[in-house]
């Protein structure tokens, strides 16, 4: 496995792979890798000749500087995991390598078709501008055949699919396929996340109430309306000492707009456990 830190070196390796007719799978990450990331990488390795994993804490998608500073970083540990599961290249650039000073200080503009106006987009203005900025740049650099994302970040996945399939960038990346992969959970049910590293053991135990409540909501959906289920989920999570719901919205899986039916619906939640912001979802 090779660790690459410059765009020039990455493109040289990509050109060599393409010249030999090799398919390339890309797994974009911000590092602090866990079993959820590993599941994406294993799938990329199994479905492509070459697997490229980016490890880059992208500053332009953080609207909270403290959150950016606290984000866990351990490239050596990440590289050891990636090598053990068969990744071929790790792209780990610095912010200065990825962006010019102007790009770092400015805002990347993109028409999201309204997908950025709800849930995470509403709570974190500018977040998805930064996500699309870095992901589109990775697509140009790697020119992958398939790109792998976890379904825990469901809104992000929907926005990336929009970018590739229906936006002004549609067709730019050829026949690129976006592959959504199931959420990987700890034995307790807590969705795996790099942010879990910031939780104490007591907080981890408390946070298990999030998914437990989401599973219960599947039963409530049989006899209650969408709005009633939303309220019950929020009230139930907030009744747990140490948890505070930022939002819980049941939306259409395609449009991400509020829906009055459980058909084609997904419930997306963001909860603060202490100072750590956790997200999860459940498909009805």
So which residues are the catalytic ones? 37
Q: In what order do the strands lie in the sheet with 265-273?
A: 243-252, 265-273, 276-283
Contact 55, 92 (CB under 8 A): yes
User: Taken in order 279, 256, 157, 212, is the CA torsion positive or negative?
Assistant: positive
Q: What tokens appear for 27 in the block?
A: 């797994």
Cα 18 from chain centre: 27
Q: What is the DSSP letter of 284?
A: -
Give the Cα separation of 270 and 42 in Å (integer). Answer: 28
Q: Please, which residues bridge with residue 266 across strands?
A: 251, 283
- Cα separations in angstroms, 14 against 7, 9, 19, 90: 10, 9, 9, 12
CA angle 133, 83, 12 (to 5 degrees): 50
Task: Please state, as a whole number, how many other Cβ atoms lie within 10 Å of the Cβ of residue 168.
Answer: 9
Residues ≥6 apart with Cβ < 8 Å to 266: 154, 250, 251, 253, 281, 282, 283, 284
Could you identify the residue written with the tokens 């599961």?
A: 85
Q: What tokens appear for 129 in the block?
A: 């501008």
Residues ≥6 apart with Cβ < 8 Å to 98: 7, 56, 58, 134, 137
């Amino acid at each position: 496995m090779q660790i690459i830190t410059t765009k020039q070196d990455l493109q040289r390796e990509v050109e060599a792979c393409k010249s030999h007719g090799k398919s390339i799978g890309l797994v974009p990450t911000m590092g602090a890798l866990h079993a959820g990331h590993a599941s994406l990488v294993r799938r990329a390795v199994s479905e492509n000749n070459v697997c490229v994993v980016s490890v880059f804490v992208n500053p332009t998608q953080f609207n909270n500087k403290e959150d950016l500073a606290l984000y866990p970083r351990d490239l050596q540990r990440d590289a050891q995991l990636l090598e053990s599961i068969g990744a071929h290249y790790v792209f780990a650039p610095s912010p200065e390598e990825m962006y010019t000073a102007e790009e770092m200080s400015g805002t990347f503009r993109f028409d999201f078709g309204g997908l950025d106006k709800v849930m995470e987009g509403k709570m974190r203005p500018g977040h998805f501008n930064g996500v699309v900025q870095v992901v589109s740049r990775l697509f140009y650099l790697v020119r992958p055949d398939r790109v792998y994302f976890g379904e825990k970040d469901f809104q992000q996945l929907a926005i990336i699919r929009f970018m590739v399939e229906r936006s002004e960038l549609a067709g730019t990346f050829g026949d690129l396929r976006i592959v959504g992969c199931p959420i990987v959970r700890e034995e307790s049910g807590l969705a795996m996340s790099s942010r879990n590293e910031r939780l104490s053991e007591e907080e981890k135990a408390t946070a298990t109430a999030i998914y437990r409540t989401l599973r219960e909501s599947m039963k409530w959906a049989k006899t209650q309306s969408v709005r009633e289920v939303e309220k019950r989920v929020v009230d139930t999570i907030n009744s747990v000492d140490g948890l505070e719901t930022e939002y819980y919205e049941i939306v259409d899986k395609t449009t991400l707009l509020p829906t009055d039916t459980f058909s084609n619906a997904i419930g997306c939640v963001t909860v603060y456990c202490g100072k750590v912001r956790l997200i999860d979802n459940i498909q009805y």
